[in-house]
Chains A and B, each alone.
Chain A
Amino acid sequence: MMLQIQNLSVFYSKAMSLNRASIDVEAGDIAAIIGPVGAGKSTLLDAVLGLNDATGSITFEDKNLRQLPTSKIVRLGIGYAPERGNLFTQMNVRENLLVGAYTSRAAIESNLDLVFDLFPILKKRQNQEVGTQSGGERQMVSLGRALMNSPRLLLVDEPTIGLSPKVCVDIATALTRLNSQHGLTILIAEQNANFTLGLAQYIYLLEAGRIIGSGTADELRADKAIQESYFGNRARST
């Protein structure tokens, strides 16, 4: 198991944002966490990076991540494209990518090639300040920055939020290629169940901080109750 999360709980002051959540991500998979607004998806991904106070256990390739500082966790080979991007808006695209390469300087050229191959528009817009870019372009910079540290596991928080269907397809294509051609293991957090079902091999359902179900895309599609609360009519129409 590449990433193993057991009984993870996170409290913000008194409120419990994650309640004994357990998740496994197999090497080579695309896994996903689906959940509504405020379910605790971002909280869970942040906890893997050691960004909040959590209890429970998190191991990556059998190494215990708890108590490690974020910079060390990143160095172990975990890339993170967080919810709001957290990009450096007054730097240009290339500089954002170079910051991402902070821990992987020997591979800068090959990683830049990879990112520009996945997102050709970024190559054309290398010198554009990120603060002036569109939402879709920023999402690509965010993914690109996470790839620059040569990760083996990529965590992606709501990659489709606020993006047009066309850009969603581009992002999905890029994630699929990273997984199938480059062997990258990916964990996606999404509200958009339809996007995720087409992409992920294994899916967890998160609600109010608890994992309430899990299965392969086909298993979840077959489950009537889940079908109704999560995929609604849109799932049937696609």
Chain B
Amino acid sequence: MLIQILLPGLLLSGLYALIAIGFTMIFSVGRVLNLGYGAFIMFGGYIYYQSAQILGLGKVPSFVIATAAGVLLGLIVYVILIRKLKGDAIAIEISTLIFAIVTQAAIIVVFSPSPKSMWPLIPGVLRVGDVIVTYNLVVAAVTSWVVLAALFLFIGKTHIGRAIRAVSMDPKGAVISGIDPDRINLIIWGLSGGLGAMAGIFLATYTQLAPAMWVAPLIIAVAVVIVGGIGSILGGLVAAHVIGMLETITTTLIAAELRGVATMLLIILVLIIAPKGLFGKAEL
């Protein structure tokens, strides 16, 4: 019984961590919620679908194309929208939310409102004792962990990564060290777009592709930021795993329809008892 929850819960957590990281990074650096983050996820899913299932370009090339398209979308959103709003958090939150809704409308026009089912990345299932998990989820989780580890090395060990942390900790200290905050933000938005698109491919193959699919991952990402602590990427990773487990427990033990409900209740609980989050401090 325990492993029936633990194994799928752990795998789902890896995917949730990838879903949340692009959102958390923007929050850490700019102290602003990118409410359009779900659009990066949806965009990645649809580009992959178009490339792999309609154009037949193959799974790996399609994965690369969709991720690169996500990077490009992140850069475009930063250059034409975010940069012009000059750090005004409310304006950015409202306009990114509108961006997500407009993206949803555009997807309905281009791809029709009906959901599309996706081929698994790798077909088949993995049996561990009497637990069955799809290879698709295994691939999604393992890739997520590898990408997250690479991202941690990048943020922890490189000059650009240190500059990203510097901007998130003390913007004035960063600029007087010669760091151009605009350039750091551009990098962050590009990374966020790419990570979101990648997460969207995995999420779409785990559930399905639909024009409203940006809302659920956005709630997961918001939950991760709130539970993990404002501005803490490491806390966010831990929170993603807590939330993944929690969802698996509620959907397996109580009712599958409750997916998402436990997460939202957790958001409210944390806001009441620990408003700074469980790991709240301004570190990356």
What is A's interface to B at a CB cutoff of 8 Å?
49, 51, 69-71, 74-75, 80, 82, 85-91, 95, 98-103, 105, 145-146, 148-149
Q: Chain A's nearest CB lies how many Å from the CB of B168? A: 9
Across-interface contacts of A74 in B (CB, < 8 A): 175-178
Contact (A88, B170) CB under 8 Å given A95-B162, A105-B159, A149-B177:
yes
A145 to B170, CA, bound (A): 14
Q: Chain B's nearest CB lies how many Å from the CB of A158? A: 15
Q: Which of B159, B166, B169, B180 contacts A71 (CB 8 A)?
A: B180
Which chain B residue has the least Cβ–Cβ distance from A97? B177
Contact (A102, B281) CB under 8 Å given A87-B170, A87-B173:
no
Are A71 and B282 in contact, with the CB atoms below 8 A?
no
13 contacts between A and B (CB under 8 A): A51-B175, A71-B179, A71-B180, A80-B176, A82-B172, A82-B173, A86-B172, A88-B169, A90-B169, A90-B283, A98-B159, A99-B163, A149-B177
Interface residues of B in 165-214 (CB under 8 A from A): 165-166, 169-170, 172-181
Q: Which of A90, A91, A103 contacts B281 (CB 8 A)?
A: A90
Are B169 and A89 in contact, with the CB atoms below 8 A?
yes
Are B175 and A70 in contact, with the CB atoms below 8 A?
yes
Which chain A residue has the least Cβ–Cβ distance from B284? A90
Are A98 and B162 in contact, with the CB atoms below 8 A?
yes
Q: Which of B163, B169, B282 contacts A102 (CB 8 A)?
A: B163
Across-interface contacts of A87 in B (CB, < 8 A): 170, 173
Interface size on B, residues (CB 8 A): 20
A80 to B172, CA, bound (A): 11
Are A99 and B180 in contact, with the CB atoms below 8 A?
no
Are A99 and B174 in contact, with the CB atoms below 8 A?
yes
Q: Which of B159, B166, B175, B181 contacts A88 (CB 8 A)?
A: B166
A113 to B234, CA, bound (A): 32
Across-interface contacts of A148 in B (CB, < 8 A): 177
Q: Chain A's nearest CB lies how many Å from the CB of B54? A: 44
What is B's interface to A at a CB cutoff of 8 Å?
159, 162-163, 165-166, 169-170, 172-181, 281-283
A69 to B282, CA, bound (A): 26
Are B172 and A51 in contact, with the CB atoms below 8 A?
yes
Are A99 and B177 in contact, with the CB atoms below 8 A?
yes
Are A69 and B180 in contact, with the CB atoms below 8 A?
yes
A105 to B281, CA, bound (A): 29
A98 to B180, CA, bound (A): 16
Across-interface contacts of A80 in B (CB, < 8 A): 176
Are B176 and A70 in contact, with the CB atoms below 8 A?
yes
Are A102 and B172 in contact, with the CB atoms below 8 A?
no
A99 to B170, CA, bound (A): 12
Q: Which of A49, A99, A149 contacts B166 (CB 8 A)?
A: A99
A110 to B174, CA, bound (A): 22
Which chain A residue has the least Cβ–Cβ distance from B173? A86
Q: Chain B's nearest CB lies how many Å from the CB of A138? A: 12
Across-interface contacts of A69 in B (CB, < 8 A): 180
Across-interface contacts of B169 in A (CB, < 8 A): 88-91
Across-interface contacts of A99 in B (CB, < 8 A): 162-163, 166, 173-174, 177, 179
Are A102 and B178 in contact, with the CB atoms below 8 A?
yes
Add 4 more A-B contacts to A99-B163, A100-B177, A146-B176 (CB < 8 A). A70-B175, A98-B162, A102-B179, A149-B178
Closest 4 CB pairs of A and B: A86-B173, A103-B178, A74-B178, A71-B180
Which chain B residue has the least Cβ–Cβ distance from A100? B177
A105 to B159, CA, bound (A): 9
Are B175 and A71 in contact, with the CB atoms below 8 A?
yes
Which chain B residue has the least Cβ–Cβ distance from A69? B180
Are A102 and B176 in contact, with the CB atoms below 8 A?
no
Which chain A residue has the least Cβ–Cβ distance from B156? A95
A51 to B172, CA, bound (A): 9
Contact (A49, B165) CB under 8 Å given A90-B282, A90-B283:
no
Across-interface contacts of A85 in B (CB, < 8 A): 173
Q: Chain B's nearest CB lies how many Å from the CB of A96? A: 8
A89 to B170, CA, bound (A): 9
Across-interface contacts of A103 in B (CB, < 8 A): 177-178
A39 to B283, CA, bound (A): 34
